[in-house]
């Protein structure tokens, strides 16, 4: 392709809102242009890379037997009402009404559409497992789209959905997907971090996010220095720094030497920090109690299902995602002041587990190791000391609801965990029967019994994957494309496209194209410096410069430079096509292997 | 691909709303499923054909130097307000509001997005011509979607837009597009009828629709028996059956022998039919006058620009599309009763050209040949006779506003025209500066002068093209795919997939796949009859049946049948792979050539 025949309006400057490097480079390299906040058009160069990524994703999905289909982008709202997500999804769901008043959504994800399609076709267990995917336009009505295509409103997602008779079958597909994702990112030369992720009310280990490290990442990851553990903070566990959970007799025995509980007058002392200072104690001896309000909690414990008291050791924080999953709730939030005062019969700041009535108490495991603690006294300016778990109070449930932090111990090996910020590129998830049950999908098993299939879902964002490749592969001059997703394999720059230079150029281009190598020919009448700058900016992996000087003499040569290297070298014209093809083929093979 | 590993839930019956053959067959062959009215999901088999069609379209666009880009599906409403189409487009435009109250549209077409993108990049005439396209999701909020993907709400369209400095450059791209479209449909083995089409206010010959004949077509085409003329009725002209347009002296001369105009009392006679009966005259001597109301007419004639009197010979009908184009209006409609009575100073039914004041009169050319006619008298129960054009009345404009009908004379050769119903698959159109002027797109020409580029636009509906291929290529048993868009080239049916049959089958499948032939293997444990029926239904061009009987003996054979032929024949196993490959390659080459 001649540069003059395509459309690559490169730029020196970019708009002020392009703050991250991939956004800046995609603009400058004329890969994308902005139509509106969060809406980007791919220009020819960007689309070539996007299509290559799409092909990689498609090949890997096909290789694990997932079948491509194409539902619509606009999906009937009825299906979302059936699943319950019409109400539950939140404002990022683009709900629209057509001229007849019917409801539709612009799909942000497609559990409903796939489930509805399968529902109509499924009759027998013999049809399962079934794994389907699409690579299609998605839309999220982001309130603050940012960072270019990294967090746009409209984007391309590969989303797969699988249907199964049992957990073993679901797990098999889930594992295959995980491997396919690793291959996809490997083929893009992208360093990813697979992490355990929140799996909502489902529980279990059936949720993995594939993250890429990023300063602007909106996820916090906890990673073990030894590499044997990685989890999203929403899910991360740690090895406890206290004795194991004590219940009943064991709890009483642990509290055997604790003096009887005593009231302490604590005028105007409300926060843990204030208490520590006031009592000259370490936060670890405090029992911090918070009142939460949950939406649609389905946890099976007696009592109120709207308000929950949650207690944790004073130096730790409650993880609301873990709590939401534990309660099987749609959402949790801290209760308002009025509710707290009503429930604790005291101003905010004096909640405590001892004598709290009317709502269930849930404690983090850390609380079960406290046998001589301090807590709020359920009255203004009152705290209690010498409080012992199992002696002075009990809970409806003890569970892990702790936010793990850098410095906590790896749950696997005990080594120190550290934190990174990450962006999610993919997510594989065991859904269970959430959608199939809600949408009434059934099949007959071997015995003719009506059963509900279980599902997995597997998403992968193509635009942000592309942007992440640039984040990882660039230098000050521009993008450094891995061969597999480069818009072209080779850029050829004739110093002056005429005479012998033109002849050599044309012969080389033609030989390379015959060999299946994608060539971009900079046939513009521009200064070499301009051409070199553009070549570096758009990041084509191989650059060939053809000039009169190197063509003169007995052994005419051209200059070959790999984008990722500083140095160039001379290659004989007679060997150039072979040499270039060989580099391209080798790099593609290296990326594709394994 | 093994049938057991894909997802082809064929059906015997289809929903009652599937009335046309392509809709029925796409359902039965498990190519598509309905998500909602006008919203269809492509299943694996349908998507394979759609992707092949997409590839053909892409190749032909690339071949003429159009560059693929990808704007978004959801486009800012601001752009549509700039172009004026936010208001003008009508209810089929899906207008939506996001959570921040901003307006968007789900693109039904993308003039605005492409124009906006080019506007931001264009500075010099050196960048022109520029031809860009996308193959992307479109949406029309059809009030009555019908006929499956032939008239769905969401669909895939290839739409290209070109930008030029002058007419010659636009015409060059326009001609290239026309040729590319012919090649695309040729490669799909689709018989199309390119017709001249309405080009709106632009005029000229810059609008061609590529039609496919269809009983349910929503276009009427006028075709010449000699094949030298084809036009949409909206645009069609004919050779007049009257003397050429007479003006001034010529008109007076033609009326020389006409008696003076006379009033006739015509109590309760209003329609042309009633008049013919009452006066025992032929409709050809009447001058039929209708009052139209136009929206945003921009025609440059003196007087009112809202109401127009239009006269035509009594046996002919006014073509409102031609009239709209002539008036450069957004829309025309017959004026309401009150307006007619006010303007003609008479009840409806007595409008006439003589003495009509206050609004411009436009006459069809046919009126200029009437030198002794009858017309309404602008008063209740009054008509006029011996009315002569040029003597008793004149018009602001004489033009072709006639609806051409079957039986009229071809404007090119004079032979009789006949009618067909057609569905539009593609449309190529010279837009002029409609969008570039409205959206303020400029470039500097060679002399540094600021100019507005002109545009062409070129649409092609992929879903309805696919459906139309099926309409043309099927029989009672199912689809008969042309090789180029068949989901697979060959279907192999082992009678019983075991022993020697399995061995032969596997060897053949592997040899074919190595040769790049796409094979669907019916490895199901079903009766041969079921497999044959499914193979016919899904329409794979080549069928190979492998059974024990034909494998026995010295020269083991398999049965080869082309889907479009009745007879099958035996092919030696040793030659089967070559024979099949050769048929596939030859058919593809035949379709691709030219």
Spatial CA neighbour of A314 closest among A351, A348, A346? A351
Average pLDDT of the residues in B50-63: 98
Residues of B in contact with A39 (CB under 8 A): 72, 74-76
Task: Write out the two tokens for B221.
Answer: 């085409």
Interval B390-438: pLDDT, tens: 999 999 999 999 999 999 999 999 999 999 999 999 999 999 999 999 9
Question: Nearest CB to B113: which of A35, A75, A78?
Answer: A35
Q: What is the DSSP string of A295-341?
A: ES-----SS-SSEEEEEEETTS-B-HHHHHHHHT-SEEEEPPHHHHH
The one-character DSSP state at A544 is E
- Could you count the other beta carbons within 10 Å of the beta carbon of residue A274? 13
Q: Alpha-carbon distance A403 to A423, whole Å?
A: 19
Spatial CA neighbour of A580 closest among A505, A528, A523, A524? A505
Interface test with A, best of B1, B31, B35 (most A CBs within 10 A): B35
- Could you count the other beta carbons within 10 Å of the beta carbon of residue A427? 18
Question: Nearest CB to B73: which of A91, A130, A137?
Answer: A137
Q: Alpha-carbon distance A163 to A433, whole Å?
A: 10
| Vertex B189: Cα angle to B188 and B191 (nearest 5) | 115
Residue of B nearest to A30 (CA): B121
Spatial CA neighbour of B261 closest among B373, B404, B395, B121? B373
From A285-289, A304-308, A492-496, the region with the lowest mean pLDDT? A304-308
Q: Whose structure tokens read 């007799």? A: A249
Distance from CA of A4 to the nearest CA of B (A): 9
pTM of the model: 0.93
Q: In this model, does residue B273 exceed pLDDT 60?
A: yes
Interval A529-545: pLDDT, tens: 999 999 999 999 999 99
Q: Alpha-carbon distance B23 to B15, whole Å?
A: 10
Average pLDDT of the residues in A271-299: 89
Spatial CA neighbour of A49 closest among A70, A25, A71? A25
Q: In this model, does residue A275 exceed pLDDT 90?
A: no
Phi, psi values for residue B134, rounded to 5°? -140, 155
Contacts of B375 (CB under 8 A, 6+ apart): B286, B287, B289, B311, B352, B353, B354, B383, B384, B387
**What pLDDT is stored for residue B267 in this prediction?**
86
Spatial CA neighbour of A301 closest among A389, A363, A234, A393? A363
Q: Alpha-carbon distance B521 to A133, whole Å?
A: 22
Residues of B in contact with A7 (CB under 8 A): 67, 69, 121, 130, 132
Q: In this model, does residue A204 exceed pLDDT 60?
A: no
Q: Alpha-carbon distance B565 to B583, whole Å?
A: 14
Residues of B in contact with A113 (CB under 8 A): 35, 41
**What pLDDT is stored for residue A280 in this prediction?**
84
**What pLDDT is stored for residue A58 in this prediction?**
98
Is-contact A541 A482, C-beta < 8 A? yes
Question: Nearest CB to B65: which of A5, A113, A141?
Answer: A5
Q: In this model, does residue A202 exceed pLDDT 70?
A: no
- Distance, C-alpha B4 to centroid of its chain: 39
Give the Å distances, CA to CA, from A551 to A185, A504, A507, A526.
41, 9, 13, 20
Q: Alpha-carbon distance A439 to A541, whole Å?
A: 49
- Backbone torsion region of residue B408, taken as left when φ is above 0, otherwise alpha when ψ lies between -120 and 50, otherwise beta: beta
The average confidence (pLDDT) of chain B is: 94
B154 preceded by cis ω (within 30°)?
Answer: no
Instruction: Give me the sign of the Cα torsion angle A419, A420, A423, A427.
Output: negative
Residues of A in contact with B148 (CB under 8 A): none
**What pLDDT is stored for residue B224 in this prediction?**
96
Cβ-based burial of A42 (10 A; exposed 0-12, middle 13-18, buried ≥19): buried
**What pLDDT is stored for residue B203 in this prediction?**
52
Question: Nearest CB to B99: which of A35, A91, A117?
Answer: A91
Interval B65-78: pLDDT, tens: 999 999 999 999 99
Residues of B in contact with A98 (CB under 8 A): 94, 141
Interval A437-452: pLDDT, tens: 999 999 999 999 999 9
Question: Nearest CB to B70: which of A41, A75, A106?
Answer: A41
Average pLDDT of the residues in A416-428: 96
Interface test with B, best of A26, A38, A39 (most B CBs within 10 A): A39
Give the Å distances, CA to CA, from A240 to A365, B174, B258.
9, 73, 114
Q: Is the reported ipTM for this assembly greater than 0.90?
A: yes
Is-contact B385 B374, C-beta < 8 A? yes
Residues of B in contact with A144 (CB under 8 A): none
Task: Write out the two tokens for B384.
Answer: 């006029």
Average pLDDT of the residues in B32-60: 97
**What pLDDT is stored for residue A192 in this prediction?**
96
Average pLDDT of the residues in A43-68: 98
Interval B322-356: pLDDT, tens: 999 999 888 899 999 999 999 999 999 899 999 99
The crossing angle, in degrees rounded to 10, of helices B462-472 and B21-28 is: 100
Contacts of B530 (CB under 8 A, 6+ apart): B524
Residue of A nearest to B43 (CA): A69
Interval B116-137: pLDDT, tens: 999 999 999 999 999 999 999 9
Is-contact A217 A180, C-beta < 8 A? no
Residues of A in contact with B47 (CB under 8 A): 68-70
- Max alpha carbon distance in chain B (Å)? 101
Interval B13-38: pLDDT, tens: 888 889 999 999 999 999 999 999 99
**What pLDDT is stored for residue B276 in this prediction?**
85
Residue A508 half-sphere exposure toward CB, CA atoms < 13 A:
34
| Vertex A526: Cα angle to A522 and A531 (nearest 5) | 50
A392 preceded by cis ω (within 30°)?
Answer: no
A vs B: CB pairs below 8 A: 132
Interval A363-380: pLDDT, tens: 999 999 999 999 999 999
Q: Alpha-carbon distance B40 to B149, whole Å?
A: 7
Contact A113 B35 (CB under 8 A): yes
Interval B206-253: pLDDT, tens: 899 999 999 999 999 999 999 999 999 999 999 998 887 778 888 888
Interval B554-585: pLDDT, tens: 999 999 999 999 999 999 999 999 999 999 99
Q: What is the DSSP string of B453-521?
A: -EEEEEEEEHHHHHHHHHHHSEETTEE---GGG-S-SEEEEESS-SHHHHHHHHHHHHHHHHTT--EEE
Cβ-based burial of A412 (10 A; exposed 0-12, middle 13-18, buried ≥19): middle
Q: In this model, does residue B452 exceed pLDDT 90?
A: yes
Is-contact B363 B308, C-beta < 8 A? no
Average pLDDT of the residues in A404-422: 95
Task: Write out the two tokens for A492.
Answer: 């050829």
Is-contact B383 B377, C-beta < 8 A? yes
Contact A35 B100 (CB under 8 A): no
From A106-110, B17-21, B298-302, the region with the lowest mean pLDDT? B298-302
Spatial CA neighbour of B426 closest among B177, B236, B239? B177
Contact B33 A121 (CB under 8 A): yes
Residues of A in contact with B74 (CB under 8 A): 39, 94, 106, 139, 153-154
Distance from CA of B69 to the nearest CA of A (A): 5
Residue of B nearest to A155 (CA): B72
Distance from CA of A33 to the nearest CA of B (A): 8
Spatial CA neighbour of B354 closest among B394, B319, B327, B320? B394
3-state secondary structure of A566: coil
């Amino acid at each position: 392709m001649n540069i003059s025949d395509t459309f690559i309006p490169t730029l020196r400057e970019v708009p002020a809102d392009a703050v991250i490097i991939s956004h800046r480079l995609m603009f400058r390299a004329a890969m994308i242009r902005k139509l509106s906040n969060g809406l980007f058009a791919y220009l020819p160069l960007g689309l070539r890379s996007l299509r290559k990524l799409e092909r990689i994703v498609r090949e890997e999905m096909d290789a694990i037997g997932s079948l491509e289909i194409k539902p619509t982008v606009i999906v009937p709202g009825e299906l979302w009402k059936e699943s319950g997500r019409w109400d539950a999804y939140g404002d990022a769901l683009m709900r629209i009404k057509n001229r007849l008043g019917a409801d539709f959504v612009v799909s942000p994800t497609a559990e409903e559409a796939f489930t509805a399609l399968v529902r109509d076709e499924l009759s027998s267990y013999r049809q399962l497992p079934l794994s389907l995917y699409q690579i299609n336009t998605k839309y999220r009505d982001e309130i603050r789209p940012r960072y270019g295509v990294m967090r746009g409103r409209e984007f391309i997602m590969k989303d797969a959905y699988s249907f199964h008779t049992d957990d073993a079958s679901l797990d098999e597909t889930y594992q295959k997907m995980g491997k396919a994702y690793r291959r996809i990112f490997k083929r893009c030369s992208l360093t990813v971090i697979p992490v355990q992720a929140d799996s909502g009310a489902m529980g279990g280990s059936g949720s993995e996010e594939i993250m890429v490290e990023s300063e602007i990442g909106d996820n916090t990851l906890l990673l073990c220095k030894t590499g044997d553990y990685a989890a999203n903070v929403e899910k991360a566990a740690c090895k406890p720094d206290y004795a194991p959970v004590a219940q009943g007799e064991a709890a009483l025995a642990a509290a055997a030497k604790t003096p009887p509980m005593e009231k302490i007058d604590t005028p105007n002392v409300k926060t843990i920090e204030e208490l520590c200072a006031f009592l000259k104690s370490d936060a670890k001896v405090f029992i911090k109690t918070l009142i939460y309000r949950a939406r649609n909690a389905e946890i099976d414990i007696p009592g109120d299902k709207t308000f929950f008291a949650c207690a944790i050791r004073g130096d730790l924080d409650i993880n609301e995602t873990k709590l939401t999953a534990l309660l099987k709730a749609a959402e949790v939030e801290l209760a308002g002041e009025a509710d707290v005062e009503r429930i604790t019969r005291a101003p905010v700041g004096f909640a405590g587990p001892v004598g709290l009535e009317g709502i269930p108490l849930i404690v983090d495991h850390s609380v079960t190791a406290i046998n001589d603690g301090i807590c709020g006294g359920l009255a203004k300016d009152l705290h209690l000391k010498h409080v012992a778990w199992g002696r002075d109070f009990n809970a409806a449930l003890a569970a892990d609801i702790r936010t793990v932090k850098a410095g906590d111990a790896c749950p696997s090996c005990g080594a120190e965990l550290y934190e990174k910020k990450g962006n999610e590129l993919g997510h594989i998830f065991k859904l269970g029967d959430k959608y199939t049950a809600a949408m009434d999908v059934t099949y007959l098993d071997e015995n003719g019994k009506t059963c509900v299939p279980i599902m997995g879902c597997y998403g992968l964002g193509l635009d942000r994957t592309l942007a992440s490749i640039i984040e990882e592969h660039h230098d000050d001059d521009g993008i450094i494309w891995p061969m597999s997703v480069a818009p072209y394999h080779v850029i050829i720059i004739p110093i002056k496209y005429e005479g012998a230079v033109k002849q050599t150029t044309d012969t080389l281009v033609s030989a390379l194209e015959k060999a299946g190598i994608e060539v971009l020919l900079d046939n513009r009448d521009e200064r070499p410096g301009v051409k070199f700058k553009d070549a570096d900016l758009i990041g084509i992996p191989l650059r060939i410069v053809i000039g009169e000087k190197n063509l003169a003499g007995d052994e005419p040569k051209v200059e070959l430079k790999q984008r990722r290297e500083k140095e160039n070298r001379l290659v004989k014209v007679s060997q150039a096509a072979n040499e270039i093809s060989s580099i391209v083929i080798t790099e593609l093979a290296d990326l594709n292997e394994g």
